[in-house]
Amino acid sequence: MTVLRILILLFLFAPFQLCAETLEANIVARVGGVPITAFELQRQIDRVMPLRVSFHGGVSAERINEIKQEALNDLIERAYKVKYAIDNEISVQVSLVEDQMKKIGARFKTKKEFESAVGAETLSGLRASIYRQLLAKKSEAIAVTSKTVANNAEIENYYAEKKHTFFMPKQFRASHILIKVDPASNSEEREALKSKAQEILVRAKKGEDFFDLAYYNSDDRTKYVGGDLGMFHEGQTEKPFEDALKKMAVGDISDLVQTRFGFHIIKLTQINEPRQLSFDEVRLKIKATLEKDRHDNLYAEWLESLKQKYKVERLAE
């Protein structure tokens, strides 16, 4: 066994030697000897829980058990990577661990408060947990991420093969004033709202400031920016709205346009004709796509190989 591997093992397992009885009782699983503690499991549950449950009501016992199992599986996956790091003599600078400890410790007024908050895990146990986390990330970076980088030739070939997919449809920029109509309203109410919209339209056509007209009269939240809808492309708006836009020139104000939301008065402010996107415009997007696909495939293969190689021992549910 090399000196580096001995140092890694000492850092990972020293806390368990220092307070063996306490920490041994709190180990919920091992992967090839790499421990997963109840403290780590609870932290992972706390991370996963908000992402998996609704805040509109309680959480069933069954759902809590599912989340607990998901959290444990996440930690088992992490432990596979730690074991890989040990076997391949991958290490992490201790200074990185201490930086994380300082960030956590900064939340407390004193070291004593920090120790009290950490409780039975102890600062040494927390430090070892952080080391395992950083070690897992470095393992993945070396075993997978470093092998996924797409070079310029690959990116150029991808663009050449799929050039037709990198096409920007026709774009519009417009502002509107919406007089909202409740679907449950009667014909008399609708006529009154239409008359109101018509009066505003006359004022807009006469040149009154469109921003102000929208701000003081529109029922849409875009009123606060003068009715500006920003840029959007064909197919993103209601059909009557888009049909009106296609008949307009920049600067035009439409007649009343009725959609399921009510009556609109539209001012067209910009048109961008459809065009082919250049290689430079999409290079970074292609690079990200290639590298993500490659990473997903390599990661799945790597993780499967680790599962075949290292034994999981579950000590508690």
Structural domains of the chain in order of their starting residue, each with its CATH number: 3-150+293-314 (1.10.4030), 168-273 (3.10.50.40)
pLDDT in tens, 169-192: 899 999 999 999 999 999 999 999
Rounded to 5°, the CA angle 19-25-29 comes to 115
- In the predicted model, is pLDDT for residue 4 greater than 60? no
Q: Which region among 25-29, 71-75, 113-117, 229-233 has the lowest average model confidence (pLDDT)? A: 25-29
For residue 6, what pLDDT band results from cuts at 50, 70 and 90? very low
User: What confidence score (pLDDT) does residue 316 get?
Assistant: 59
Average pLDDT over residues 253-260: 96
- E strand intervals along 147-302: 167-168, 171-180, 228-233, 257-259, 262-272, 275-276
User: What confidence score (pLDDT) does residue 10 get?
Assistant: 47
Average pLDDT over residues 43-67: 78
User: What confidence score (pLDDT) does residue 181 get?
Assistant: 95
Q: Which region among 45-54, 194-203, 210-219 has the lowest average model confidence (pLDDT)? A: 45-54
| Pairwise CA distance, residues 301 & 125, whole Å | 31
Strand duo 312-314 + 27-31: pairing: antiparallel
Average pLDDT over residues 239-264: 96
Supply the mean pLDDT for the chain.
89
